[in-house]
Amino acid sequence: GGLDSFMEELFSAACYIVNAGYEVILFEGPGQGAAQRKSNLRMTHKWEIPTSVVLDYFNLTNVTLVGISLGGYLALRAAAFDERIARVVAYDVAPYDLHGSGLQGSLYRFFIRQPAVYNWIAHTAMRWSVQSDLLISQWMYITGANTPADWNEQLQNFSVSDVALQIHQDVLLLAGAEDHMVPLKEYHNNVNGLINARSVTGRIFTAEEHAQNHCQVGNLALALDVILDWIGQKT
């Protein structure tokens, strides 16, 4: 799962994969579903920790790890630290480098030094944009941040670039051509950055396929078929 997911909402997708002949294990980690709501486990970028617990408990090896939305980053992060993960799917891709050398990185470092400025901008955006309000409020909730600036400081840990060179598995990267959450450029950044992966396969979904949106909302079956075809090729 991702930023605001519950395990139950993935049940139909899991059944689709089970019907194709695979065993599926769904789990929620810190910041997600019941782990957050009932156990107050806050989101962490160190997703290798909860993932390793699941792999240990079920005694799993040679698995395919699929991460949805923010889970695209979380799955790649876990794969970087656990060789029992043989294949990893970022469904969809995540930001590659949130603290890089370009304009985005410069702005990020400026706002880290000026939290009051960032808080003012964030609160203004939250008043005028439903999407900004949803994104920032949810991030603050799952991380336990007291202010938008606190969340922004934690966000720097969620960059694929930090672990890209440690990823040696087969990787499938999915992206929507008109994703409103993750710019399409991040797909290309991920493809170019995962240079040590055993293989990198990419798929951009389009409006003609009714799958151009975030996580291919509009044609989930197509995305699942692409994932299943890829798993079949890599196993």
Residues designated as active site: 69
Residue type, 153: E
Please list the residues that pair with 91 across neighbouring strands: 68, 174
Q: How far apart are the first and last CA of the chain?
A: 23
Helices (H), 59-184: 71-79, 103-113, 115-128, 130-143, 148-155
Alpha carbon distance 72, 217 (integer Å): 15
Residue 59's SS3 state is coil
Instruction: Confirm if 213 and 207 have CB atoms less than 8 A apart.
Output: no
Residue type, 163: V
Residue 201: CB atoms within 10 A of its CB come to 17
